Structure 1
Amino acid sequence: MSYSQRIYAGSISRSSPSPNKWVAPPAGLVKINTDASLADEGVVGLGAVARDTEGRVLFSVVRRTRAWWPSDIAEAKAIHMAILWAKKQGLRSVIIESDAQVIVSRLARASIFFSDLDSILGDILSLCSFFHDISFSHVRRDENFVAHHLAKVVPFGYEQCWVNHCPNVVSPYVLMDVLSLD
Structure 2
Amino acid sequence: MATLQGMVFAKEIGVSNLVVEGDCLTVIVAVGSLGDDLSSLGHILDDIKRGVSWYNSCSFGHVRRGANGVAHAIAAFARSLSSEIFWLEELPSCFQPLLDFDS
TM-score, normalised relative to structure 1: 0.51
Structure 2 equivalent of residue 121 of structure 1: 45
Return structure 1 stretches of 4+ with deviation > 4 angstroms: none
Percent of aligned positions that are identical: 29
Structure 1 equivalent of residue 85 of structure 2: 160
Structure 2 equivalent of residue 174 of structure 1: 99
- The structure with the greater share of residues assigned to strand is 1
Equivalent residue letter for 1:123? D
Runs of 5+ consecutive residues of structure 1 not aligned to the other structure: 1-76
Q: How far apart are residue 160 of structure 1 and its match?
A: 1.5
Structure 2 equivalent of residue 9 of structure 1: none
Distance 1:159 1:126 in 2: 25
Equivalent residue letter for 1:145? G
1:89 paired with 2:13, answer yes
Structure 1 equivalent of residue 55 of structure 2: 131
- The structure with the greater share of residues assigned to helix is 2
Please give the secondary structure, in 2, of the residue aligned with 1:170. Answer: helix
Root mean square deviation, CA, Å: 1.8
Runs of 5+ consecutive residues of structure 2 not aligned to the other structure: none
Please give the secondary structure, in 2, of the residue aligned with 1:97. Answer: strand
Aligned residue runs from structure 1 range 13-92, under 5 A? 77-92=1-16
